Chains A and B, each alone.
Chain A
Amino acid sequence: MGIDRREFLKSTGKLVLLTSAAALAWDSLIAGRPEAAPNYKLQDHWWGFAIDIEKCIGCGNCVRACKTENDVPLEPYYFRTWVERYHVLGGNIEHPEVDSPDGGYDGFPPRYKPGDGAKNFFVPKLCNHCAHSPCVQVCPVGATFESPDGVVLVDKTYCLGYRYCVQACPYGCRFIDPRTMTVDKCSLCYHRITKGLTTACCETCPTGARRLGDLKNPKDPIHDFLRNNKIQVLKPQMATGAKAYYNGLDGSVR
């Protein structure tokens, strides 16, 4: 069974015509995109995040606020941010006991008794907005990227749900949204920070344990935080360029 010249030209012509039709449709689709905030200049910002373990009380306000603000599914395994409770007994930092009931959404029911010699503390977690993120490097279609202002974002119209990025993130900060089957993660409330507001989690944090910071703004208090404290990032050995800076981070935290 062969294909003659006439048939070949016909099918090729069809392909070319259909391709241009799709291109026209795509153009009209992207022409309707909303404009970014008018006074926001990408090159003037480089966002980071300051977390003070010594101030976190594990109330879960950030977890609830994040789910409300960003329409995160309420099931207890989808989180853009969550809080962990560490229980380090006898200085055994290799084997801490960690719990995070519903990510801390309803706070933490009392579990440990005082006086057992253990070290107990809360660790809020979120996307580290790495400057060299492993998740961005593995995306085959350019659906996730480091924005010029230092935020790791997802292009939901491009994401095909391959899940490489979910596996690549060393901090476990990504999940597949069961409604769209595309990836979702902390966007550092990009819709808020581009309008001069802070993130929903920082807005509702009652103790100031979480603070958004613009590293390119010399007047931002994050510089004092970085200067005056002993700062660590999570998994520094992975050289991800993480920009979630922790004060008072214990050696047991992974």
Chain B
Amino acid sequence: MRKFLKDEQHFVRMATLFLVGLFLFLIARVFFVPKDFYEYGHFRAGALADNAARPMGFAGREACESCHPDVAEARKGSRHDAIACEACHGALAKHADDPGSLKPTLPDGKKICLVCHRQDVAKPKAFKQVNPQEHMGSEPCNACHKPHHPEMA
């Protein structure tokens, strides 16, 4: 019988090596690809739980108000009512978990207000802004305005 190619043996050897390699690859793949890899798509489904497992820094307004309902009550109707506690008081999830472990520090009555209320042309026109030098000189803001109820009486 006429041979298909002159050096057929070479091709047989190469093909065998290739098939063995492919077989080993498929076996290795079964072991290496995590079981949940294609559960939702081309990624590991467990990564969702990994992302969800991060510890929290901010406790959230509800957590604050569950222990401090008096403050929540006092802030009702204030112009600052919509602002969450931790916007000024900082991240306090540790304090919410164990109040003794982290004591919140009182924000600086001169600096904290200016974080928002310092005059800038890029701020929306309707937003209350002050030039600190003209408005109060060296007085701290909380000499006149209560941060939880900033309206003047």
Contact = CB atoms under 8 A, between A and B. Distances in A.
Nearest to A193: B52
Given A26-B34, A57-B127, A204 B87 contact: yes
Contacts of A198: 60
A125 to B, nearest CB: 15
B121 A112 contact: yes
Contacts of A65: 57-58, 86, 91
A123 to B, nearest CB: 10
Given A30-B46, A142-B42, A145-B43, A112 B32 contact: no
A239 B61 CA distance: 36
A59 B52 contact: no
Interface hub of A33, A110, A122 (most chain B Cβ within 10 A): A33
Interface string B25-53: 00110111011110011111011111111
Contacts of B44: 30, 142, 155, 157-158
17 contacts: A34-B53, A35-B49, A42-B48, A110-B120, A122-B123, A142-B42, A143-B43, A153-B47, A157-B44, A157-B50, A191-B52, A191-B54, A191-B56, A192-B58, A195-B52, A197-B58, A203-B60
Contacts of B37: 142
Nearest to A85: B122
A167 interface: no
B78 interface: no
A235 interface: no
Contacts of B50: 33-34, 155-157
Nearest to B52: A194
Contact of A204 (B32, B51, B53, B84): B84
Interface residues of A, number: 68
Contacts of A44: none
A65 B120 CA distance: 22
Given A65-B58, A153-B47, A203-B60, A57 B123 contact: yes
B118 interface: yes
Interface stretch (A17-25, A74-82, A174-182, A218-226): A17-25
Of the four ranges (under 10, 10 to 19, 20 to 34, 35 or more), the interface on chain B belongs to 35 or more
B77 interface: no
B5 interface: no
Contact of B57 (A42, A153, A195, A200): A200
Interface in B99-127: 115-116, 118-124, 127
B122 A121 contact: yes
Given A19-B27, A69-B58, A153 B91 contact: no
A203 B87 contact: yes
A20 to B, nearest CB: 6
B7 to A, nearest CB: 19
Given A22-B32, A65-B58, A33 B49 contact: yes
Contact of A110 (B27, B36, B118): B118
B83 interface: yes
Interface hub of B83, B84, B124 (most chain A Cβ within 10 A): B124
Contact of A203 (B36, B58, B121, B127): B58
B82 interface: yes
B83 A206 contact: yes
A154 to B, nearest CB: 8
A90 interface: no
B87 A61 contact: yes
A147 B41 CA distance: 9
A122 B49 contact: no
Nearest to A208: B82
Nearest to B41: A145
A194 B53 CA distance: 10
